[in-house]
């Protein structure tokens, strides 16, 4: 009888894990992917939707397409995890498994600023597009409400893209663009080389950066920091706070801070040996960035570990603790790379550098979008 591998979440990590384990083991496994959504969405393209470069249908594909790859897809909401019984409660009933891969992502919490916009979802991207349509110029402020959010470079990309959009609309001269962050420098965890290059690009576009700006209130068209600084705005783009997925943080997998406790070398649960947790659900606790590229590599690796369990020898890919993210500033782009070997080993900070800078780098991101769909869900 085939071994049942249950994958929770149809984002980047879950999609890669489901495809890879099926490719490695074929008919030896029954792979079931569960997601509450009907489509997989290429989340890096949400800002492109906000700024009119993409339409929603261009950046999503039906998860039902996975059936053509021998992967069962079930549209359902995950309600509870019962790892001691090897079961998962869903809105479509209880599911059993031999192996479980949890890739449910992070959960967006209510924004502290009701008048803000956030292209961190399809709905948020479309709402921002509507706001920009009628924007005649003024003060634009981009920022974060907490240190934990998906895609660390995104606030700086959005600041650069909105500056370019205002230029195209012909209202840049009548506008200002500011971006604030809780950290002292952009992408401070990546070191001074990356931070310096991001600051250089923002400065060339006239975008002002405000570091160590921890928001305390959003009232009267102003963001006020705990140290008293204020940023007035006519348009506020604010990353909402995020938390580990509610189902996971309330499950037996969760540790003291709500994040699952996993072996950082295998992403296997320390409590349940047939359970793996990847992606934004666990990465902040491992000091890994909550980014799709990291979840992608984790999905490949975990599929190999499961194959190793079943075949008796490791035949998958080694985990690649590298994050590469093309940062699109609208009329410029940056490709940084960081290795997190020392972070996972507990011996130091990530090692980062700049791989490429220039308008042509944006083309690579556009090409990757097509490659992603073609290899995983079309």
Span 54-80, pLDDT tens digits: 999 999 999 999 999 999 999 999 999
Report the pLDDT value the prediction gives residue 94, as an integer from 0 to 100: 98
- Cα–Cα nearest to 104, from 175, 8, 19, 3: 8
Question: Residue 202: which domain range?
Answer: 110-240+322-376
What's the pTM value of the predicted model, to 2 decimals?
A: 0.93
Phi, psi of 153 (to 5 degrees): -75, -15
Report the pLDDT value the prediction gives residue 91, as an integer from 0 to 100: 98
The residue from 264, 288, 311 where one domain ends is 311
DSSP letter at 333 equals E
State the Cα–Cα distance between residues 281 and 249, nearest whole angstrom: 9
336 and 205 share a domain?
yes
- pLDDT at 288 > cutoff 90: no
User: How confident is residue 29, by pLDDT bands cut at 50, 70 and 90?
Assistant: very high
State the Cα–Cα distance between residues 285 and 157, nearest whole angstrom: 25
- Domain assignment of residue 221, yes or no: yes
154 and 117 share a domain?
yes
State the Cα–Cα distance between residues 279 and 293, nearest whole angstrom: 9
Report the pLDDT value the prediction gives residue 30, as an integer from 0 to 100: 98
The residue with greater pLDDT, 289 or 91, is 91
- pLDDT at 317 > cutoff 70: no
Count the helix, strand and coil residues of the chain and give each as a percent rounded to the nearest 5: 35, 30, 35
152 and 209 share a domain?
yes
Mean pLDDT across the stretch 240-261?
90
Report the pLDDT value the prediction gives residue 321, as an integer from 0 to 100: 82
249 and 232 share a domain?
no
- pLDDT at 199 > cutoff 70: yes
Domain count, the chain: 2
254 and 372 share a domain?
no
- Domain assignment of residue 153, yes or no: yes
Beginning with the edge strand found earlier in the chain, give each strand of the sheet holding 222-225 in spatial order. 215-219, 222-225, 230-232
328 and 188 share a domain?
yes
pLDDT tens track for 330-346 = 999 999 999 988 888 88
Mean pLDDT across the stretch 22-43?
96
DSSP letter at 259 equals S
pLDDT tens track for 182-198 = 999 999 988 899 999 99
- Domain assignment of residue 316, yes or no: no
356 and 342 share a domain?
yes
The residue with greater pLDDT, 310 or 257, is 310
Q: What is the DSSP string of 94-140?
A: EEE-SEEEE---EEEPPPS-TT-B--SSHHHHHHHHHHHHT--S-EE
User: How confident is residue 304, by pLDDT bands cut at 50, 70 and 90?
Assistant: very high
The residue with greater pLDDT, 189 or 121, is 121
Mean pLDDT across the stretch 1-12?
96
Report the pLDDT value the prediction gives residue 284, as an integer from 0 to 100: 87
State the Cα–Cα distance between residues 287 and 43, nearest whole angstrom: 22
18 and 73 share a domain?
yes
- Domain assignment of residue 302, yes or no: yes
- pLDDT at 316 > cutoff 70: no
Report the pLDDT value the prediction gives residue 198, as an integer from 0 to 100: 96
Report the pLDDT value the prediction gives residue 314, as an integer from 0 to 100: 66
- pLDDT at 318 > cutoff 80: no
Q: How far apart are the first and last CA of the chain?
A: 28
- Domain assignment of residue 317, yes or no: no
State the Cα–Cα distance between residues 332 and 272, nearest whole angstrom: 46
**C-alpha of 117 from chain center:** 18
Mean pLDDT across the stretch 135-148?
94
The residue from 262, 282, 311 where one domain ends is 311
263 and 140 share a domain?
no
100 and 115 share a domain?
no
Mean pLDDT across the stretch 229-251?
94
Collapsing DSSP to helix, strand or coil, 94 comes out as strand
The residue with greater pLDDT, 349 or 298, is 298
Q: What proportion of the chain, given as a percentage, has pLDDT over 70?
A: 99
256 and 236 share a domain?
no
Phi, psi of 282 (to 5 degrees): -130, -25
Report the pLDDT value the prediction gives residue 340, as an integer from 0 to 100: 86
Mean pLDDT across the stretch 301-309?
93
338 and 234 share a domain?
yes
CATH number at residue 102: 3.50.50.60
Q: Please answer whether residues 326 and 342 qualify as being in contact, where contact means their C-beta atoms are separated by less than 8 angstroms.
A: no
The residue from 311, 345, 362 where one domain ends is 311
pLDDT tens track for 84-120 = 999 999 999 999 999 999 999 988 899 999 999 999 9
Task: Give the pairing type, strands 99-102 and 3-8.
Answer: parallel
């Amino acid at each position: 009888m085939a071994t049942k591998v249950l994958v929770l979440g149809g984002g980047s990590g879950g999609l890669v894990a489901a495809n890879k384990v099926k490719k490695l083991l074929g008919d030896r496994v029954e792979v079931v992917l569960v997601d509450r959504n009907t489509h997989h969405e290429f989340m890096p393209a949400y800002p492109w939707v906000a700024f009119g470069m993409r339409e929603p249908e261009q950046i999503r594909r039906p998860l039902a397409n996975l059936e053509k790859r021998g992967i069962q897809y079930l549209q359902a909401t995950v309600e509870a995890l019962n790892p001691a019984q090897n079961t998962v409660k869903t809105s479509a009933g209880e599911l059993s498994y031999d192996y479980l891969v949890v890739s449910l992502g992070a959960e967006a919490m209510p924004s502290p600023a009701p008048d803000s916009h956030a292209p961190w979802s399809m709905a948020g991207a479309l709402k921002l597009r509507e706001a920009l349509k009628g924007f005649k110029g003024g003060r634009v402020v981009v920022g974060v409400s907490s240190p934990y959010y998906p895609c660390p470079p995104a606030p700086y990309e959005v600041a650069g893209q909105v500056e370019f959009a205002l230029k195209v609309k012909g209202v840049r001269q009548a506008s200002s663009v500011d971006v604030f962050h809780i950290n002292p420098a952009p992408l401070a965890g990546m070191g001074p080389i990356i931070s310096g290059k991001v600051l250089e690009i923002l400065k060339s576009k006239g975008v002002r950066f405000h570091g160590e700006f921890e928001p305390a209130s959003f009232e009267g068209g102003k963001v006020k920091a705990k140290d008293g600084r204020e940023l007035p705005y006519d348009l506020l783009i604010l990353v909402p706070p995020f938390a580990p997925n509610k189902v996971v943080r309330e499950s037996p997998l969760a540790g003291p801070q709500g994040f699952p406790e996993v072996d950082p070398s295998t992403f296997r649960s320390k409590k349940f040996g047939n359970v793996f947790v990847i992606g934004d659900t666990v990465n902040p606790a491992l000091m890994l960035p909550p980014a799709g590229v990291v979840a992608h590599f984790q999905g490949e690796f975990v599929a190999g570990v499961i194959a190793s369990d079943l075949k008796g020898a490791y035949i998958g890919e080694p985990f690649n603790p590298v994050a590469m993210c093309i940062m699109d500033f609208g009329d410029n782009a940056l490709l940084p790379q960081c290795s997190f070997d020392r972070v996972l080993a507990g011996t130091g900070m990530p090692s980062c550098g700049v791989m490429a800078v220039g308008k042509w780098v944006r083309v690579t991101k556009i090409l990757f979008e097509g490659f992603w769909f073609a290899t995983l869900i079309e």
